[in-house]
């Protein structure tokens, strides 16, 4: 199959990765309306074409939390990412490093923190969930600190997991899941060899190191369900802010009032995100939520945005809506599933080229030039 875009990677991943893993990434919660709108609301934003402004010297670089980024994108935390390619988190982190952007390791990764940081020189970002077991949170934070992670991404939109109906249909969860997954592996030999056999152990590296026993994919959903803490409030986050010396980013903000709370709390950044449409179906798309959040807090705190970004044009759109940088989720997961590190590198090259086109034809030479002016207000036409 010829690959020229992230959408091509999605279709190739559909064939190469067994359905239980493909749909785990591809799916969202409930009726998947927010997932769908994340993509269509962004794609529907009209870019304002301008010409003849000498765009020969484009610059996509930014500085974020004292780090240089070759483009305004960070690889988002993705749980069980190591199931998309052999030791997948290591491969994705190396790809991000080679392309000059940070990689964020999920709490619930396959590879433990130290396995990934040993494979890269660039400081990694680490994502933490709010969990009932505060001992676990402290334990992983200490390890992330010791391993030199630079930025903490604190995900707050999962006090309880959203219902992912697709996972029951695909064999990720539900009746006969083990046998269904084995049958799927048999019919996907590339994945079975690369990940199923050579990619072991398939345990959640960070969780297993804490519990002292192997917590595998089957225990994953159960463990998450039991450990998410619906009682969490801003007050519970204070010890983490005091404990973590580096930049702290709150991920999962979708409302200007919550964004203002994040500023009051003293966070360094927020991620405007609905978790890629995997939590509250019916919530606003990030593209819709972002402008009023930017109006409320731009300049007081760094604004990252994700959910629905499928090409470099979408990155420019998110910046035009008020983001300082973006996070990429599914787009890199599909590429990882198809071709590992090389796939993620190629996808990032594609996104950068797409950004170049969008910046040239909206006449924005550097990232800080991109404002809402890069978009056409369709309501006024």
Ligand X SMILES: Cc1cc2nc3c(=O)[nH]c(=O)nc-3n(C[C@H](O)[C@H](O)[C@H](O)COP(=O)(O)O)c2cc1C
Stretch that binds ligand X, among 55-63, 237-245, 262-270, 274-282 (CB under 6 A): 274-282
Task: Say whether residue 127 binds ligand X (CB under 6 A).
Answer: yes
Task: Say whether residue 347 binds ligand X (CB under 6 A).
Answer: no
Residues sharing a CB contact under 8 Å with residue 12, sequence separation 6 or more, in sequence order: 1, 3, 334, 338
Helix (H, G, I), strand (E, B), or coil: what is residue 260? helix
Give residue for tokens 């945005």: 305
Task: Say whether residue 307 binds ligand X (CB under 6 A).
Answer: yes
Residue 336: C-alpha distances to residues 80, 264, 310, 327, 347 (Å): 12, 38, 15, 16, 9
Stretch that binds ligand X, among 188-196, 200-208, 234-242, 269-277 (CB under 6 A): 269-277
> Residue 108 or residue 355: which is nearer to ligand X going by CB?
108
Stretch that binds ligand X, among 196-204, 256-264, 268-276, 315-323 (CB under 6 A): 268-276
Contacting residue, 77, 123, 269, 322, with ligand X by CB under 6 A: 77
- How does 67-95 read in b/e, with b if 16+ C-beta sit within 10 Å? bebebbbbbbbbbbbbbbbbbbbbbbbbb
Using CA atoms, how far apart are residues 374 and 364, in angstroms rounded to an integer? 8
Contacting residue, 9, 20, 24, 136, with ligand X by CB under 6 A: 24
Size of residue set near ligand X by CB under 6 A: 25
Task: Say whether residue 330 binds ligand X (CB under 6 A).
Answer: yes
Written as six digits, the tokens of 182 are 């084995």
Residues sharing a CB contact under 8 Å with residue 193, sequence separation 6 or more, in sequence order: none
Using CA atoms, how far apart are residues 94 and 92, in angstroms rounded to an integer? 5
Residue 374: C-alpha distances to residues 60, 206, 354, 362 (Å): 15, 42, 15, 6
C-beta separation of 274 from 34 below 8 A: yes
Task: Say whether residue 317 binds ligand X (CB under 6 A).
Answer: no
> Is residue 359 packed enough to be buried (19+ CB in 10 Å), middle (13-18) or exposed (0-12)?
buried
Task: Say whether residue 76 binds ligand X (CB under 6 A).
Answer: yes
Contacting residue, 82, 112, 276, 340, with ligand X by CB under 6 A: 276
Task: Say whether residue 275 binds ligand X (CB under 6 A).
Answer: yes
> Residue 94 or residue 109: which is nearer to ligand X going by CB?
109
User: In the range 129-158, which residues lie near ligand X by CB under 6 A?
Assistant: 155
> Residue 247 or residue 361: which is nearer to ligand X going by CB?
247
Per-residue binder mask for ligand X (CB under 6 A), 92-121, x = binder: --------------x-x-------------
Stretch that binds ligand X, among 51-59, 70-78, 344-352, 371-379 (CB under 6 A): 70-78
In the complex, the smallest distance separating the C-beta of residue 363 from ligand X, rounded to whole angstroms, is 27
Task: Please give the biggest Cα pair distance in the chain.
Answer: 63
Contacting residue, 18, 19, 72, 79, with ligand X by CB under 6 A: 79
In the complex, the smallest distance separating the C-beta of residue 236 from ligand X, rounded to whole angstroms, is 17
Using CA atoms, how far apart are residues 296 and 317, in angstroms rounded to an integer? 19
Task: Say whether residue 173 binds ligand X (CB under 6 A).
Answer: no
Using CA atoms, how far apart are residues 180 and 182, in angstroms rounded to an integer? 5
Q: Which residue's C-beta sits nearest to ligand X?
A: 329
Active site (catalytic) residues: 275
Stretch that binds ligand X, among 75-83, 85-93, 131-139, 362-370 (CB under 6 A): 75-83
């Amino acid at each position: 199959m010829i690959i020229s875009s992230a959408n091509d990677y999605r279709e190739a991943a559909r064939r190469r990765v067994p359905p239980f893993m493909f749909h785990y990434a591809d799916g969202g919660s409930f009726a998947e309306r927010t997932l769908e709108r994340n993509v269509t609301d962004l794609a529907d934003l009209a870019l304002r074409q301008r010409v003849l402004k000498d765009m020969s010297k484009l610059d996509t670089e930014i500085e974020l939390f004292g780090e240089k980024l070759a483009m305004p994108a960070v690889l988002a935390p993705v749980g069980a990412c190591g199931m998309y390619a052999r030791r997948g988190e290591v491969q994705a982190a190396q790809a991000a490093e080679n392309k000059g952007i940070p990689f964020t390791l999920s709490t619930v990764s396959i590879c433990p923190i130290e396995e990934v940081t040993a494979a890269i020189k660039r400081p990694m970002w680490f994502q933490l969930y709010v969990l009932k077991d505060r001992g676990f949170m402290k334990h992983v934070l200490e390890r992330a600190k010791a391993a030199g992670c630079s930025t903490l991404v604190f995900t707050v939109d999962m006090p309880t997991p959203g219902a992912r109906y697709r996972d029951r249909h695909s064999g990720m969860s539900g009746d006969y899941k083990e046998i269904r997954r084995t049958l799927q592996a048999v019919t996907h030999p590339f994945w079975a060899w690369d990940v199923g056999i050579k990619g072991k152990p398939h345990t959640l590296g960070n969780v297993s190191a804490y519990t002292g026993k192997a917590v595998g994919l089957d225990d994953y959903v159960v463990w998450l369900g039991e450990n998410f803490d619906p009682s969490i409030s801003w007050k519970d986050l204070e010890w983490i802010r005091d404990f973590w010396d580096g930049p702290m980013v709150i991920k999962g903000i979708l409302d200007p009032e919550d964004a203002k709370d994040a500023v009051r709390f003293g966070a360094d950044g927020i991620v405007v995100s609905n978790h890629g449409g995997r939590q509250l179906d019916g919530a606003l798309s990030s593209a819709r939520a972002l402008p009023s959040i930017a109006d409320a807090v731009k300049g007081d705190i760094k604004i990252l945005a994700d959910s629905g970004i499928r090409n470099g044009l979408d990155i420019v759109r998110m910046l035009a809506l008020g983001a300082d940088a973006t996070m990429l989720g599914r787009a890199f997961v599909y590429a990882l599933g198809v071709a590992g590190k090389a796939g993620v590198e190629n996808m990032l090259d594609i996104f950068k080229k797409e950004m170049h086109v969008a910046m040239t034809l909206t006449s924005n030479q550097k990232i800080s030039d991109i404002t809402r002016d890069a978009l056409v207000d369709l309501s006024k036409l």
